A and B are shown apart, each in its own frame.
Chain A
Amino acid sequence: MVVIRTVNVSEVEKTVAQLCIEANCSLGIDVIDALNKASSQETSGIGAEIFKQLIENAEIADSEKIPVCQDTGFAIVFLEIGQEVHLTGGDLTEAVNNGVKTGYTEGFLRKSMVRDPLDRANTGDNTPAIIHTQIVPGDNIRITLAPKGGGSENMSSLKMLKPAEGVEGVKAFIIETIRNAGPNPCPPIVVGIGIGGSMEKAALMSKYALTRELGKPSPDAETSRLEQQLLEQINNTGIGPQGLGGKVTALAVHIERFATHIASLPVAVNISCHAYRHKTVVL
């Protein structure tokens, strides 16, 4: 017999608040390792200096609990909710938003959300969060918070290719997007890519790819090869750290793939800056 686990949404709220602060102030060990590794590979003088400063920046932020970047972003929340969980105590969306409000206020994080894209009045507490919910087997709730800066988000792109354009077309579109972005998304970047699905599925996959541990290859051998090829091509553009030239334009490429329609080949490119912020807790 399946036992239903009851979770009060106030647990979710508390966790989200904590994750907002942690994700914004303390980069994960995956990011620090990647910055150190890239720093030793960078041959450009300015580039090497930039890596040194980015590492120092991460250390200051972590030890003083101040945000790594002033743009503490959209609060992007991925919820994976086990189907044996029964949520009580109120509205889940409201709980997540209350968590964001508390985290951004008590953590002295910047409030960057405007209530409407056209009237542009600031909501004052960084809500609403952008929430992606998935129902999965089991009785856990997995909460991932991935603050996402506007500068890199704005350089992201999506295109519906023709199937005949194939893998070469996919690569060309990705490289074109990265070159157009140039220095704007604060390179070194991490590139999240969604190939396949429908338009919105591709976009969502490209975002989800940016919650993966930095540099962890796709479990699929062919996809992992494509990630490596693209990383090499991107790093050959010469854009370099901060667009000031060098070998390391990207720290990693993460690709997610999904089935698609006979007529379609969607590709979404979501660019993250070096402030690759993501924190996960399982309740």
Chain B
Amino acid sequence: MARYSLTTPLEDKDIEKLKAGDMVTISGTIFTARDAAHKKLVDLINQEKDLPVNLKGQIIYYAGPAPAKPGYVIGSVGPTTSGRMDSYTVPLLEKGLKGMIGKGSRSKEVKQGLCRHGAVYFAAIGGAAALLSKKVKACKVRAYPELGPEAIYELEVEEFPVYVINDIHGSDLYSQCLNKSSV
């Protein structure tokens, strides 16, 4: 297990070295999006329209923050279950998306997409949302404010901690961890 610090936008050389199980801290701009925003993005792609954010080299964080208290940049903000975004993911990879942060396993289709498009899937610690909110230094709504917590937020993060789950070589940390002989 190696440790890396990466800054967005990600380049191919950043991604090639990552292996399932590595610990990475991410700094720079990342975008949040959940189910409703994904649906809108993919609808735009299907209609061959421009997206409200340029995804080239970017990371999407599957998260819907709690509202910020007065004086706070953002409320608690941990990852949501990634599997719900599986069916929307490949079209976004085709638009140049290089990383996703969430929790939980991905579909076969997504894992193959990661290898094909040279992108990575990271997990953040689910439920460590108060702690993770401290890594967010700025936050603004980038698209779909009407979706409330499901809007696309642009976050400036500093040393945001994640683990590599699926790398571009086809390794999957979750399946490596599951003790198949135990039942």
Which residues of A are interface residues toward B (Cβ below 8 A)? 45-46, 50, 53-54, 56-58, 60-61, 64-72, 108-112, 120, 122, 124, 149-151, 154, 175, 179, 182-184, 186, 233, 236-240, 242-246, 273-275
Tell me the minimal C-beta distance from A67 to chain B in angstroms. Answer: 5
Tell me the minimal C-beta distance from B107 to chain A in angstroms. Answer: 13
Known interface pairs A60-B131, A183-B123, A236-B182; A108-B68 also in contact (CB < 8 Å) = yes
B145 within 8 A of A: no
- Which of B77-85, B91-99, B112-120 is found at the contact surface with chain A? B77-85
**Contacting pair B69 A108 (CB below 8 A):** yes
Chain B at the A interface: SS class: loop
B127-182 interface (Cβ within 8 A of A): 127-131, 133-134, 148-150, 161, 163, 173-174, 176-179, 182
**Contacting pair A71 B80 (CB below 8 A):** yes
**Contacting pair A237 B179 (CB below 8 A):** yes
CA distance A110 to B127 in the complex (A): 14
CA distance A243 to B165 in the complex (A): 10
Known interface pairs A67-B76, A70-B65, A179-B183; A54-B127 also in contact (CB < 8 Å) = yes
Give B176's nearest chain A residue, CB to CB: A245
Give B77's nearest chain A residue, CB to CB: A70
Q: Write out the residue numbers on chain B whose beta carbons fall within 8 Å of the beta carbon of A154.
A: 81
CA distance A72 to B65 in the complex (A): 10
Number of residues of chain B lying within 8 A (CB) of chain A: 45
Give B131's nearest chain A residue, CB to CB: A57
List 12 A-B residue pairs with CB atoms under 8 Å apart, sorted by A's residue number: A70-B129, A108-B68, A149-B127, A151-B104, A154-B81, A183-B105, A184-B83, A184-B103, A237-B179, A239-B178, A242-B125, A245-B177
Which one of B127, B161, B163 has the greatest number of beta carbons of chain A within 10 Å?
Answer: B127
**Contacting pair A60 B182 (CB below 8 A):** no
Q: Write out the residue numbers on chain A whose beta carbons fall within 8 Å of the beta carbon of B179.
A: 236-239
**Contacting pair B177 A53 (CB below 8 A):** no
Give A178's nearest chain B residue, CB to CB: B183
Tell me the minimal C-beta distance from B93 to chain A in angstroms. Answer: 21
**Contacting pair B182 A70 (CB below 8 A):** no
Known interface pairs A53-B131, A54-B127, A64-B130; A183-B163 also in contact (CB < 8 Å) = no
Supply 8 further A-B pairs (C-beta < 8 A) apart from A108-B68, A154-B81: A54-B128, A57-B130, A60-B134, A61-B76, A66-B72, A70-B78, A244-B173, A245-B178
CA distance A239 to B178 in the complex (A): 5
Known interface pairs A70-B76, A151-B81, A237-B179; A109-B66 also in contact (CB < 8 Å) = yes
CA distance A127 to B84 in the complex (A): 23
**Contacting pair A184 B78 (CB below 8 A):** no
Task: Bits for B14-57, please: 1 = Cβ < 8 Å to A, else 0.
Answer: 00000001010000000000001000000000000000000000
Give B104's nearest chain A residue, CB to CB: A184
CA distance A124 to B36 in the complex (A): 15
**Contacting pair A60 B130 (CB below 8 A):** yes
Give B124's nearest chain A residue, CB to CB: A242
**Contacting pair A110 B66 (CB below 8 A):** yes
**Contacting pair B131 A184 (CB below 8 A):** no
Q: Write out the residue numbers on chain B whose beta carbons fall within 8 Å of the beta carbon of A274.
A: 127
Known interface pairs A108-B67, A238-B178, A242-B125; A68-B104 also in contact (CB < 8 Å) = no
Known interface pairs A57-B128, A275-B127; A108-B177 also in contact (CB < 8 Å) = no
Contact of A110 among B64, B178, B183 (CB under 8 A): B64
Q: Write out the residue numbers on chain A whose beta carbons fall within 8 Å of the beta carbon of B9.
A: none
Known interface pairs A46-B163, A112-B149, A122-B148; A182-B174 also in contact (CB < 8 Å) = yes
CA distance A267 to B134 in the complex (A): 41
Known interface pairs A175-B183, A186-B126; A56-B131 also in contact (CB < 8 Å) = yes
Contact of A111 among B23, B69, B149, B183 (CB under 8 A): B149
Tell me the minimal C-beta distance from B6 to chain A in angstroms. Answer: 19
**Contacting pair A53 B128 (CB below 8 A):** yes
Q: Write out the residue numbers on chain A whose beta carbons fall within 8 Å of the beta carbon of B103.
A: 151, 183-184, 186, 242
B63 within 8 A of A: yes
CA distance A56 to B128 in the complex (A): 9
Contact of A69 among B23, B78, B174, B178 (CB under 8 A): B78
Which one of B80, B130, B182 has the greatest number of beta carbons of chain A within 10 Å?
Answer: B130
